[in-house]
Chain A
């Protein structure tokens, strides 16, 4: 399988890698070194976006797409009849450097199918990242996949060279995992995850004492869940994510709408990937991480799934109308964050600006606060901005079909706020 021309192998391995949705290059801040190449930017940098609107930040590639596992949801499963290919570590290093020097990418995201054994496969990945760091003196971003069941010593070594490490849970419950991924017991995923969480925390503590202490995955660890391949509810998914964020200090949980690509009878027959559901899950995920929400506030036993009609924050607010409207000039930062349509940046600006000026509707607009949804939940200087009585049914109707303003008025906006697509693209 190494006899194919390089270009063809690149295509095969890219095809096999693209279903992993993690793409971020953030969380690590490494300066360039004399004689070395590259640096990392704390906020991460997206370099381009493909025809499906997903960003390319890292060269996402498999070392090989041959795999001894047979996970039903995975395109690279043993029983799938697709062309197989492999790169040598030197080829990956060369390609990474060539792409990096042209500023196509922020670095490398290396994953692989499992060949021979978990340990052998993990060793191969480590060879690549060590060559990059030690021979090429590469300071750019490296995201390394950890192979389920790999030896703890190898896991520890991977984190010493990589900026971010990840191991994918893929399916939210033990039962689903046993059904669809019989070679991958849940322990083989959770154990290294726990180990890495411990190593990341202790390396961080050591770095606080001495700046020379060795780093371990400074950009933390992430994981991925497939949505729609198994019958779990949104509540189970979001509760699991909350646990991962709180207990394992996970940096990101990615959600991947299941793309049907097999006639395996264990899998549901979906006409299209559940993209809207994926989007709502990302919105809920953001509420957990940046808006101070808890999973049980968004979903409970009676409502196990997110409302597909509006975003989870609007949904929550409509069910808690007794808490609204709040006064923009007085409400605490945490309260402002819970107003639909107000994001972290708007809330920060409101809190900053109101120290020096009384905020009315005009001032809020000048700050760049988007009032389309927020107006129904805000008073500014004592005046309610919604114009209608706060009543559940009316409000829901308004939120679903916002009043169309004449196009002429829209043109007056000199600096229209750009839509926040980060939830869709998975950047940050």
Chain B
């Protein structure tokens, strides 16, 4: 049987739950945007609706049978978006339900080993981006009064806006971190690769998918000044006698630099 789901983690859990319920032996999964291969089950497919309650029930079942840590591993690994991740995770789930707590210790065996590696990769990238996200203050609303009416309600409001292009889907992991830290003001983190957005407003956050910018954000005057100060501080902190660009590049690979304020116009 081939399960079509909406591509979210919740949707995936619902699909797994449906598969386990059906008692079938082989399961394949299709997310939107991925072409159905001419696999064994190409003709036999089923749409799975995403229901929060079903996903939560499955979570309780898995955590009770295995552990919280194993569920966290599953969640991180899912967001790696690796090819064939769903089938790998299905094997992990099935093994977990059979073996119980032991499964998270079976690091030398498949599929645990691969799942563990992928989950570490995502967790590592999420941690990296807790440092690499750069918020920039943009005037909001962009044209001076779209949402608020005629602009007499008070001074122009600003918004902190950040762009990222991570290799894995880390928004669900970093959004709560930044909500706790900077949730007193509205902010957005825009994943350009996935056209997704985490936005935080009045202390709570949510994900929005299928986002595109209607216009380039306009930075406030304070933003221009602050980023200039940061760039000059950044350059000053390097000790010339210790110059070591190779080490720097292994720590800040080039792919991250496009959205790092301090690397703007720096070799």
- Choose among B102, B160, B228, B232 the residue that contacts A102 (Cβ–Cβ < 8 A): B160
Q: Give chain B interface residues in 14-48, CB to chain A under 8 Å.
A: none
Q: Return chain B residues, CB-CB under 8 Å to A55.
A: 251
Q: Return chain A residues, CB-CB under 8 Å to B190.
A: none
In the complex, per-residue mask of B122-144: 1 if CB is within 8 Å of any chain A CB, else 0: 00000100111111110000000
Q: Give chain B interface residues in 219-239, CB to chain A under 8 Å.
A: 222, 226-230, 232-239
Contact A104 B121 (CB under 8 A): no
Contact (A425, B251) CB under 8 Å given A51-B244, A102-B160, A102-B261: yes
- Known: A18-B239, A48-B262; 4 extra A-B contacts, CB below 8 A, are A11-B233, A32-B183, A101-B182, A275-B242
CB of A127 within 8 Å of the partner chain: no
Q: Return chain B residues, CB-CB under 8 Å to A15.
A: 236
Contact (A46, B230) CB under 8 Å given A19-B239, A356-B109: no
Contact A52 B236 (CB under 8 A): no
CB of A155 within 8 Å of the partner chain: no
In the complex, per-residue mask of B246-267: 1 if CB is within 8 Å of any chain A CB, else 0: 1110111000000011100000
Complex CA gap A363/B230 in Å reads 47
- Choose among B117, B135, B181, B242 the residue that contacts A38 (Cβ–Cβ < 8 A): B181
Q: Return chain A residues, CB-CB under 8 Å to B183.
A: 32
In the complex, per-residue mask of A1-32: 1 if CB is within 8 Å of any chain B CB, else 0: 00000110011001100110000000000011
Contact B242 A102 (CB under 8 A): no
- A31's nearest neighbour on chain B, judged by CB, is B180
CB of A355 within 8 Å of the partner chain: yes
Q: Smallest distance from the beta carbon of A82 to chain B beta carbons, Å?
A: 13
**B: which residues have CB within 8 A of A?**
102, 105-109, 113, 117, 121, 127, 130-137, 160, 162, 177-178, 180-185, 203, 222, 226-230, 232-248, 250-252, 260-262
Q: Smallest distance from the beta carbon of A193 to chain B beta carbons, Å?
A: 26
Contact A18 B241 (CB under 8 A): no
Contact B233 A49 (CB under 8 A): no
Complex CA gap A367/B135 in Å reads 37
Q: Return chain B residues, CB-CB under 8 Å to A102.
A: 134-137, 160, 226-227, 230, 261
CB of A366 within 8 Å of the partner chain: yes
What are some 5 contacts across the A-B interface (CB < 8 A)? A6-B229, A10-B233, A14-B236, A98-B226, A101-B135
Contact B242 A45 (CB under 8 A): no
Q: Smallest distance from the beta carbon of B65 to chain A beta carbons, Å?
A: 17
Contact B244 A56 (CB under 8 A): no
- A59's nearest neighbour on chain B, judged by CB, is B233
Contact A53 B251 (CB under 8 A): yes
- B244's nearest neighbour on chain A, judged by CB, is A53
Q: Smallest distance from the beta carbon of A75 to chain B beta carbons, Å?
A: 10
Q: Smallest distance from the beta carbon of A266 to chain B beta carbons, Å?
A: 20
Chain A interface size band reads: 35 or more
Contact B182 A56 (CB under 8 A): no
Contact B251 A49 (CB under 8 A): yes
Complex CA gap A352/B112 in Å reads 13
Contact (A7, B226) CB under 8 Å given A49-B248, A419-B250, A421-B250: no
Complex CA gap A176/B107 in Å reads 51
CB of A240 within 8 Å of the partner chain: no
CB of A35 within 8 Å of the partner chain: yes
Most buried by B among A35, A103, A415: A103
CB of A41 within 8 Å of the partner chain: yes
- Choose among B181, B185, B233 the residue that contacts A39 (Cβ–Cβ < 8 A): B181
Contact A49 B252 (CB under 8 A): yes
Contact (A95, B229) CB under 8 Å given A46-B131, A359-B108: yes
Contact (A103, B182) CB under 8 Å given A421-B250, A424-B247: yes
Closest 6 CB pairs of A and B: A53-B247, A52-B242, A50-B238, A363-B108, A14-B236, A353-B107
Q: Return chain B residues, CB-CB under 8 Å to A355.
A: 105
Contact A356 B238 (CB under 8 A): no
- A47's nearest neighbour on chain B, judged by CB, is B131
- A45's nearest neighbour on chain B, judged by CB, is B131
Contact A367 B108 (CB under 8 A): yes
Most buried by A among B203, B232, B248: B248
Q: Smallest distance from the beta carbon of A167 to chain B beta carbons, Å?
A: 22
Q: Smallest distance from the beta carbon of B224 to chain A beta carbons, Å?
A: 12
Q: Return chain A residues, CB-CB under 8 Å to B133.
A: 103
Contact A52 B243 (CB under 8 A): yes
Q: Give chain A interface residues in 33-68, CB to chain B under 8 Å.
A: 34-39, 41, 43, 45-57, 59-60
Complex CA gap A168/B249 in Å reads 30
- Choose among B136, B227, B244 the residue that contacts A52 (Cβ–Cβ < 8 A): B244
- Choose among B137, B247, B260 the residue that contacts A421 (Cβ–Cβ < 8 A): B247
